[in-house]
Chain A
């Protein structure tokens, strides 16, 4: 044995002994080390909180960049802003045209001199066309649902605003699909881009819209264009992921086939891989639509008219009933849209037949509308404007819930939330960064550890540390509650398909209900402070918790489940001993999704009243400091990247270990 070999053997031996010791003493030792480390760093002021005179002025730099881009003279006096505005105008045209065609009509002049050049399609024609189209594609059930939805919109006087929103989405959804698909294709071809692109996508979805409200207005103006863009920013990312995921999976299956038949790369892509990736692409489409509908309220903030504005105005005036009715209209329309696109279609009518009927159905009410103005615009007298019943019910609930809720609230605040908050605020930034570094090193790689640990240090360097901790605290508490609710429901849905068939679609559609709607009732029930914010986050994040938990369990191989049955385990044993451990990577991804959803709620909870990054975003926008707003938004996104990164790495590590054994 050479010296070198002896040394290596000795080193390995020591390391094994050391590792076994750590493992034997379990987390206790690690915890002890961490506690000593934290206690030590607490006494070093610069490690506890980043020194304020060394704060890096990212916000100032961002302001400078934004202003110089906006004022940039690039091509012969044409500023970037002129260019973006021109693009914006083009985007808005089709939406405006559709709106005129379907709801408002084409007019000339304005005010009292306004003349109708060409009337819009009668609402009755449109309703009939929708019902016929739904019948043809999805049968009587879908047609009945379509009729019900149309009636709902008409009766509650939401027809015109819904059409306006649909006209915007008619541009936003294809644009999101196109953008998402192209970027996805690009990432698929150049896999090295994946890391960067996915990081940017995470940012797009976690940075609250408020943070880039001002830049959007600067470059694209207000109204339809800005609204469409706000929707695209939120709705495009899932399409990128679906494209990359679907193509990668198809490639794994069919790459050999493509090579065997001698297809060129282009042929392989278009003729083999894309058709094989259908399922994934369809899922992307579904996600894009759901997210697009969920975002229409944000579009209302930048001047886009439509159903989102109805919700916003109603809630601002505490007209909860009206807000709920309008919010439900968004959800119903989203479901109808999604169901329509998902149903396969049936050959009940031949193609020509249906065109004939559609033409007749469109033309008759349209032609008659000059004679009967009721057919032109749905008469206001036929609408139901009062929502007193709902309002009374809400009032009643608020009154009777006072005593029980205030009791639960006091207990939770005193025993759980306040201590948790104090604990998190007491952590030095350096120990947090070090902790993330160590965890990441253990689960992934040294590079990854430097990236994630460095991102934590970056938050400290911005000087927003306390706010970031408060953000984390609210999201952490909210996520835990969401998981406590979502986990059992998800398991139940996976175990009992009958229950699942009911719960899962409900969870999906609840996500399209804009968070603003339950914000006001939550405030009325829980008052101010941390509790209403945590509850709002928990409500929003519970849906993905159910969805992803169920998916994690359902994706287990059936052989595994059968083994459990064969060895005679009780359902509980099967769940705890076999299925849950096997589904652990999926469950970690569930937690990551829940955390991301919770972070997406940060700016919404700021509207309830927080002192975290969300509040800073609102505060800096009101002070016309868009650089600071953007930086605070980036800090929120960084929290998301770090939490998501740690959990995903852990899941990958477990998967990799399983594969190797």
Chain B
């Protein structure tokens, strides 16, 4: 695998000089070529370590390369993306789950240093999830009222008399403490420290056939791999959230793309491409499954998708 990498500065200067002359020559000879990138400075796409983003960032970078841009993927922690984008070190982030990082998105937008670029093409859903073997022991499910009768199933030494509800990291803003209270459930909300910690517990519980009640979300590989169901809560209404009781489902969450504010002027066509970049949900899920369930290499999965779905991505880059 060879990627563009180091060039000594003097070398780059000579080459840019050479290119400038060549470009000028060709410009005067023929009409300007539309496929010429506006700037050869590297476009950086952030890649945070979850499967969906491994795929989407790689896909975006490959499409930009096809358009003639100097694009590269930069692996970075999901939270660190924002200060990096504000500083112009990250040009685009193509998969931001607003359900988990709304405050960072808003702060970054407010600073004027980055802009939202619309949806990735689908929304995220969050639900309380339980494995199918729990249903035998708690027949009233998936109705949430059954949870109160089955509190004993979900007790742990540390939650004592209450059942354990395992939820996202506290910074993802889940509002589950008031939700549990409003719904009259004797459950203690336990925040996992990270997504990996949450999933590790779900996986272990599933292997041990241990009862567990946890937040999972869609689209994601876990509900696809582990057989189970979502608890049915009262449907979401704006009042349910504005009143602060949260006794309902979570609203669907936007999955957005963002750009460094200087990107539009520097690479207008790249900016337009990322704006048009909207992946069908089924394709996203299928690729995620290929990686997480079948253990394929994310980059190879993206290549395979590009080879078979030209009709989808071709319009984006034109």
Bound together: yes
Question: Can you name 14 A-B pairs with beta carbons within 8 Å?
Answer: A105-B5, A107-B4, A110-B71, A113-B68, A217-B83, A217-B89, A221-B87, A302-B77, A316-B49, A319-B295, A410-B157, A523-B200, A527-B156, A622-B104
Interface residues on A, range: 35 or more
Determine whether the beta carbon of B68 is less than 8 Å from that of A524.
no
Question: Would you give the shortest CB distance from A102 to chain B, in whole angstroms?
Answer: 11
With a cutoff of 8 Å between Cβ atoms, the chain B residues found around residue A619 in the complex are 170-171
Determine whether the beta carbon of A528 is less than 8 Å from that of B70.
no
Determine whether the beta carbon of B5 is less than 8 Å from that of A96.
yes
A324 within 8 A of B: no
Residue-by-residue, is B83-111 near A (CB-CB < 8 Å gives 1, otherwise 0)? 11001011000000000010110011000
Residue-by-residue, is A82-123 near B (CB-CB < 8 Å gives 1, otherwise 0)? 000000000000001101100011111111111011000000
Determine whether the beta carbon of A618 is less than 8 Å from that of B5.
no
Determine whether the beta carbon of A377 is less than 8 Å from that of B208.
no
A420 within 8 A of B: no
The answer for the CA separation of A529 and B76 in the assembled complex, in Å, is 28
The answer for the CA separation of A609 and B11 in the assembled complex, in Å, is 49
Determine whether the beta carbon of B199 is less than 8 Å from that of A398.
no
The answer for the CA separation of A608 and B201 in the assembled complex, in Å, is 10
Residue-by-residue, is A578-589 near B (CB-CB < 8 Å gives 1, otherwise 0)? 000000000000
The answer for the CA separation of A309 and B79 in the assembled complex, in Å, is 15
Determine whether the beta carbon of B49 is less than 8 Å from that of A223.
no
With a cutoff of 8 Å between Cβ atoms, the chain B residues found around residue A213 in the complex are 77, 79-80
With a cutoff of 8 Å between Cβ atoms, the chain B residues found around residue A409 in the complex are 157
Question: Would you give the shortest CB distance from A620 to chain B, in whole angstroms?
Answer: 9
Q: Name the residue on B nearest A409 (C-beta).
A: B157
Q: A222-B74, A316-B49 are in contact. Are A377 and B7 (CB under 8 A)?
A: no
The answer for the CA separation of A385 and B295 in the assembled complex, in Å, is 9
With a cutoff of 8 Å between Cβ atoms, the chain A residues found around residue B69 in the complex are 110-111
**A interface, by DSSP: helix, strand, loop or mixed?**
helix
Determine whether the beta carbon of B84 is less than 8 Å from that of A221.
yes
Determine whether the beta carbon of B104 is less than 8 Å from that of A528.
no
Determine whether the beta carbon of A312 is less than 8 Å from that of B49.
yes
With a cutoff of 8 Å between Cβ atoms, the chain A residues found around residue B54 in the complex are 313
Residue-by-residue, is A582-613 near B (CB-CB < 8 Å gives 1, otherwise 0)? 00000000000000000000000111111100
A386 within 8 A of B: yes
Interface residues on B, range: 35 or more
Residue-by-residue, is B304-315 near A (CB-CB < 8 Å gives 1, otherwise 0)? 000000000000
With a cutoff of 8 Å between Cβ atoms, the chain B residues found around residue A104 in the complex are 2-3, 5-6
With a cutoff of 8 Å between Cβ atoms, the chain B residues found around residue A111 in the complex are 64-66, 68-71
A305 within 8 A of B: yes
With a cutoff of 8 Å between Cβ atoms, the chain B residues found around residue A221 in the complex are 84, 87, 89
The answer for the CA separation of A218 and B86 in the assembled complex, in Å, is 9
Q: A528-B201, A623-B171 are in contact. Are A386 and B295 (CB under 8 A)?
A: yes
Determine whether the beta carbon of B196 is less than 8 Å from that of A316.
yes
Q: Which of B190-249 contact A (CB under 8 A)?
A: 190-197, 199-201, 203-205, 207-208, 210
A530 within 8 A of B: yes
A16 within 8 A of B: no
Determine whether the beta carbon of B197 is less than 8 Å from that of A523.
yes
Q: A99-B6, A377-B1 are in contact. Are A222 and B90 (CB under 8 A)?
A: yes
Determine whether the beta carbon of A218 is less than 8 Å from that of B104.
no
Question: Would you give the shortest CB distance from A500 to chain B, in whole angstroms?
Answer: 35
Determine whether the beta carbon of B190 is less than 8 Å from that of A609.
yes
Chain B residues within CB distance 8 Å of chain A:
1-8, 15, 40, 42, 49-51, 54, 64-66, 68-72, 74-77, 79-80, 82-84, 87, 89-90, 101, 103-104, 107-108, 156-158, 164, 166, 169-171, 190-197, 199-201, 203-205, 207-208, 210, 291-292, 295, 297
Residue-by-residue, is A194-229 near B (CB-CB < 8 Å gives 1, otherwise 0)? 000000000000000000011001100111000000
Determine whether the beta carbon of A622 is less than 8 Å from that of B79.
yes
Q: Name the residue on A nearest B62 (C-beta).
A: A111
Determine whether the beta carbon of A622 is less than 8 Å from that of B171.
yes
Determine whether the beta carbon of B75 is less than 8 Å from that of A303.
yes
The answer for the CA separation of A276 and B125 in the assembled complex, in Å, is 66
Determine whether the beta carbon of A607 is less than 8 Å from that of B194.
yes
With a cutoff of 8 Å between Cβ atoms, the chain A residues found around residue B79 in the complex are 213, 621-622
With a cutoff of 8 Å between Cβ atoms, the chain A residues found around residue B190 in the complex are 528-529, 609
Determine whether the beta carbon of A399 is less than 8 Å from that of B208.
yes
Q: A217-B84, A618-B171, A618-B193 are in contact. Are A105 and B208 (CB under 8 A)?
A: no
Q: Which of B40, B83, B170 contacts A214 (CB under 8 A)?
A: B83
Q: Name the residue on A nearest B212 (C-beta).
A: A527
Determine whether the beta carbon of B196 is less than 8 Å from that of A99.
no
The answer for the CA separation of A162 and B76 in the assembled complex, in Å, is 18
Q: A528-B192, A609-B192 are in contact. Are A222 and B5 (CB under 8 A)?
A: no
Determine whether the beta carbon of A623 is less than 8 Å from that of B104.
yes
The answer for the CA separation of A348 and B23 in the assembled complex, in Å, is 58
